[in-house]
């Protein structure tokens, strides 16, 4: 039999073990060491976890005033799902998710404005009457607008996402982004952001038509991410062309050109270059003239020459250059007050990741700092928040859409991003400054927290064995 001393020691160890395991569970719930078995890079003092998996190619996510998270899932689901963390454990459990709305061919665009939820297919804008907190099926949508140019209404080829963002108030109407039909089209007719200033309190039967919109920003190849800032300016992130080649300035220059653009569209009706001009990311000496220089795409086009392209009267330049082929899909303004500087200011951009570049670019969420006076991005300030562990490789998490959730489980706030490759929504939070009421707030990121607990666990088992051998 065991003596009293052994029993006391055993009880003590058992309690310690239970404490260790419960600490691991609390932090583990909201900061797992792995995202779907992926290794990843994350900035110090941040940690990440899976909020929900098993979605169908989730695209745009938006957080409502009550904390409900809307997510658009692509076909074949073709639906808008609402997720609500009722038990505040930082993850969406099976009883915390419901289908809000279904409509054929929903594939990306989603926003809530006034008393309505708006979502898009390649050709059509729909809306449903919606108040945050409603988690029942919203039924059949109303058609807001039809006739958006697309290669085909049902086949998602060409650039088929139609991002929707309201101008400011509902009465100002909305912006809609349409991407090119091909890698390099003959004109910009498909490559623009339009402004649709409709009376949305009296939509005609069958909806308005696309031809009633006006061109707001022309020559934008595929401006997937759109956001209006607090000053009412429209920002966008643009996906540039593939396989760029110009014999006289280096031949195959596609690895670093064109740069993926951050734009601010201050000139209503302005032209931004595509398909005639491209933004220099990097050209080898002696050709290079620096980031954002505008160059002609074609040597045989005698109208849109290098001189024409780099004249700002003709072509609006991007405000910032991101790596070529990073595939930016969303941009949002960063007010994550708990994140360590400079990750608490400027803008956040999701990079879906490239196919037209080896080593690859993208597969990350980045922060770009902005100048407090001008409000413009600071050149060279791009910082990876979370992403592929080694730049140049693929990551099977491909960030799409960004949102900030407050509170986030037991914590003050977190950055959410969707991924249409592992069909998940992930969260990133600060481990330093967050004033959580439960769980661990200090010390290590998720990568080390569970392994520390596991080591403690193993040490205790070994100690227990030693006691009983005695
Ligand atoms: C939710 O929306 C549906 C459809 O519009 C409506 O019938 C229902 O009353 C709403 N429920 C709540 C709680 O707002
Ligand atoms: C946006 O709309 C609000 C309310 O309608 C108004 O107060 C504000 O001035 C508008 N902002 C801009 C930049 O137009
Ligand atoms: C220019 O853009 C490239 C991306 O194409 C980037 O790697 C580089 O850092 C940028 N240079 C500056 C000075 O911002
Ligand atoms: C830019 O283009 C405008 C309009 O064609 C022209 O008036 C101006 O002289 C050009 N600027 C330069 C520096 O070539
Ligand atoms: C936590 O921090 C946020 C933002 O800093 C603040 O608004 C909130 O009141 C704080 N909550 C508690 C419980 O201290």
In tens digits, the chain (470 residues) has pLDDT values of 456 555 555 554 545 444 443 333 333 446 755 565 668 999 999 999 999 999 999 999 999 999 999 999 999 999 999 999 999 999 999 999 999 999 999 999 999 999 999 999 999 999 999 999 999 999 999 999 999 999 865 555 689 999 999 998 888 899 999 999 999 999 999 999 999 999 999 999 999 999 999 999 999 999 999 999 999 999 999 999 999 999 999 999 999 999 999 999 999 999 999 999 999 999 999 999 999 999 999 999 999 999 999 999 999 999 999 999 999 999 999 999 999 999 999 999 999 999 889 999 999 999 999 999 999 999 999 999 999 999 999 999 999 999 999 999 989 999 999 999 999 999 999 988 776 654 433 322 332 233 334 444 444 554 554 455 44
If asked whether residues 114 and 208 sit together in one domain, one would say yes
Closest atom of ligand 4 relative to the 307 alpha carbon: 14
If asked whether residues 24 and 130 sit together in one domain, one would say no
Quote the pLDDT of residue 59: 98
Q: Where in 310-423 does DSSP place strands (E)? A: 320-322, 328-333, 347-351, 364-370, 377-387, 399-405, 414-419
Taking the centre of ligand 5 as the mean of its atom positions, its distance from the CA of residue 338, in whole angstroms, is: 10
Task: Determine whether the shortest distance from the Cβ of 168 to ligand 2 is under 6 A.
Answer: yes
Ligand 2 pocket test, candidate residues 169, 172, 235, most atoms within 8 A of CB: 169
CATH classification at residue 180: 2.120.10.30
Q: Helix, strand, or coil here: 110?
A: strand
Q: Are 361 and 382 in contact (CB under 8 A)?
A: no
If asked whether residues 464 and 431 sit together in one domain, one would say no
If asked whether residues 341 and 210 sit together in one domain, one would say yes
Q: How many structural domains are present in the chain?
A: 2
Q: Which domain holds residue 17?
A: 1-33+447-470
If asked whether residues 56 and 18 sit together in one domain, one would say no
Quote the pLDDT of residue 279: 98
Q: Helix, strand, or coil here: 306?
A: helix
Quote the pLDDT of residue 451: 36
Ligand 4 pocket test, candidate residues 303, 306, 311, most atoms within 8 A of CB: 311
Task: Determine whether the shortest distance from the Cβ of 448 to ligand 1 is under 6 A.
Answer: no
Closest protein CA for atom 7 of ligand 2: 169
If asked whether residues 345 and 316 sit together in one domain, one would say yes
Q: Which ligand is nearest to the CA of 170?
A: 2
Q: Where in 202-327 does DSSP place strands (E)? A: 208-209, 214-218, 223-228, 234-238, 245-246, 251-252, 260-264, 270-271, 277-279, 294-296, 320-322
Task: Determine whether the shortest distance from the Cβ of 323 to ligand 3 is under 6 A.
Answer: yes
If asked whether residues 4 and 116 sit together in one domain, one would say no
Taking the centre of ligand 5 as the mean of its atom positions, its distance from the CA of residue 262, in whole angstroms, is: 32
If asked whether residues 68 and 127 sit together in one domain, one would say yes
If asked whether residues 12 and 46 sit together in one domain, one would say no
If asked whether residues 137 and 177 sit together in one domain, one would say yes
Q: Which ligand is nearest to the CA of 172?
A: 2
If asked whether residues 321 and 285 sit together in one domain, one would say yes
If asked whether residues 334 and 461 sit together in one domain, one would say no
């Amino acid at each position: 039999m065991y003596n009293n001393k052994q029993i006391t020691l055993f009880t003590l160890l058992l309690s310690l073990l239970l404490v260790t395991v419960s600490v691991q569970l609390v932090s583990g719930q909201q900061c797992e060491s792995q995202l779907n078995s992926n290794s990843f890079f994350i900035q110090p003092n941040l940690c990440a976890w899976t909020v929900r998996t098993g979605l169908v190619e989730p695209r745009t996510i938006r957080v409502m005033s009550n904390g409900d998270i809307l997510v658009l899932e692509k076909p074949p689901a073709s639906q808008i799902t609402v997720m609500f963390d009722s038990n505040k454990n930082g993850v969406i459990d099976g009883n915390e998710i419901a289908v809000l709305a279904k409509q054929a061919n929903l594939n990306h665009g989603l926003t809530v404005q006034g008393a309505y939820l708006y979502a898009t297919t390649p050709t059509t804008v729909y809306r449903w009457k919606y108040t945050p907190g409603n988690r029942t099926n919203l039924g059949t949508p109303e058609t807001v607008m039809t006739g958006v140019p697309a290669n085909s209404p049902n086949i998602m080829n060409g650039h088929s996402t139609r991002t929707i963002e309201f101008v400011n108030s509902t009465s100002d109407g909305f912006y809609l982004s349409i991407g090119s039909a091909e890698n390099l089209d003959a004109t910009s007719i498909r490559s623009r952001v339009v402004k649709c200033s409709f009376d949305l309190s009296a939509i005609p039967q069958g909806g308005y038509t696309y031809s009633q919109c006006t061109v707001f920003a022309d020559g934008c190849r595929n401006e997937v991410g759109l956001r209006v800032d607090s000053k009412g300016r429209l920002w966008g992130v643009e996906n540039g062309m593939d396989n760029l080649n110009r014999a006289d300035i280096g031949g195959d220059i596609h690895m670093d050109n064109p740069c993926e653009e951050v734009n601010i569209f201050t000139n209503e009706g302005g032209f931004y270059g595509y398909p005639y001009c491209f933004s220099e990311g990097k050209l080898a000496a002696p050709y290079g003239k620096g980031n954002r220089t505008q160059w002609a795409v074609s040597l045989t086009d005698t109208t849109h020459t290098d001189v024409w392209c780099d004249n700002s009267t003709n072509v609006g330049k991007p405000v910032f250059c991101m790596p070529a082929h990073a595939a930016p899909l969303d941009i949002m303004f960063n007010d994550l007050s708990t994140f360590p500087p400079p990750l608490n200011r400027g803008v956040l951009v999701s990079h879906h990741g490239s196919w037209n570049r080896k080593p690859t670019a993208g597969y990350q969420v980045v922060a770009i700092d902005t100048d407090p006076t001008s409000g413009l991005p600071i050149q060279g300030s791009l910082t990876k928040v979370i992403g592929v562990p080694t730049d140049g490789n693929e990551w099977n998490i491909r960030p799409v859409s960004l949102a900030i959730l407050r509170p986030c489980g037991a914590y003050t706030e977190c950055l959410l991003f969707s991924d249409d490759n592992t069909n998940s929504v992930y969260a990133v939070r600060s481990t330093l400054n967050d004033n959580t009421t439960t769980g661990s707030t200090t010390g290590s990121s998720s990568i080390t927290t569970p392994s520390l607990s596991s080591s403690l666990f193993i040490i205790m088992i070994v100690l227990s064995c030693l006691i009983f051998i005695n």
